Structure 1
Amino acid sequence: MNTEQILAEIREANLSYLMLAQSLIRADREQALFRLGISEESAAILDTLSPSQIMKIASSNTLLCRMRVDDDLVWGLLTNHGKSAANDGISRLHASILMAGRHHEAA
């Protein structure tokens, strides 16, 4: 993959993320804050963006969203390394609880 392809993929990911974020915020603000891991202030800005503003912001060469899973514990729970399929739901629930706690601490 060359540089132009990477930049095009970043722009596409940015556009998808911004459109999804705005849609979630407008549908259920509290749920959006949790699922996106953003602050109320960020949600307020995203909610008011016009389509042209979204397109302009999305065309940046910097990825706007980031990975919220930043430690081995949560990655292990999400990927179920060494666990049976029966524990899949419990592991995902545990990972969600951990990430929710971190979102609450950050907000």
Structure 2
Amino acid sequence: MDTQQILAEIREANLSYLMLAQSLIRSDREQALFRLGISEDTANLLVTLTPAQMMKIATGNTLLCRFRMDDDLVWSLLTSHGKSAANDSVQRLHASILMAGRHQEAA
């Protein structure tokens, strides 16, 4: 994969992320804050962006979104393969609870 292709994919991911963020914020603000892991101030900014502003922001060479699961426990809970369906549901719920707690800490 060459540099130009990587940059094109970053731009596409950025634009998709910005559009998704705006849509979530407009439809259910509280859910958006939790699901996107953003602050109220960031949500206020994102919801006011025009399409032209989103295109300009998206064309940067830095990915705007990031992985929120930055510890081994959450990754372990989310990726436990070969477990029963009931156990998998419990582990995903546990991971969601951990991430929700981190969202509260950041807010």
| TM-score normalised by length of structure 1 | 0.96
Shift of 1:81: 4.2
Structure 1 gap segments, 5+ residues each: none
- Could you say which residue in structure 1 is the equivalent of 2:28? 28
Structure 2: runs of 5+ lacking an equivalent: none
| 1:78 partner letter | L
- Could you tell me how far apart the structure 1 residues matched to 2:53 and 2:78 are? 34
Query: Counterpart in 1 of 2:87?
Result: 87
- How far apart, in 2, do the equivalents of 1:87 and 1:5 lie? 40
After superposition, what is the alpha-carbon deviation per residue over 1:20-78, rounded to whole angstroms, capped at 9, x for unaligned?
00000000000000000000000000000001101110111100001000011000111
CA distance in 2, matches of 1:82, 1:74: 17
Q: How many residues align?
A: 107
Separation in 2 of the partners of 1:28 and 1:10? Answer: 26
The AA in structure 1 aligned to 2:65 is C
Aligned to 1:59: 59
**1:70-91 superposed Cα distances (whole Å, 9 cap, x missing partner):** 0110001111146333311111
Shift in Å, 1:8: 0.6
Deviations 1:78-105 (A, max 9, x none): 1114633331111111000000000100
Q: Compute the TM-score of the two structures, normalised by the length of structure 2.
A: 0.96
Q: 5 Å matches for 1:62-73? A: 62-73=62-73
Aligned to 1:39: 39
Which 4+ runs in 1 deviate beyond 6 A?
Answer: none
What is the distance in 2 between the residues matched to 1:84 and 1:8? 40
Letter of the structure 2 residue corresponding to residue 96 of structure 1 = S
> Does 1:6 find its partner at 2:6?
yes
More deviation in 74-83 or 28-37? Answer: 74-83
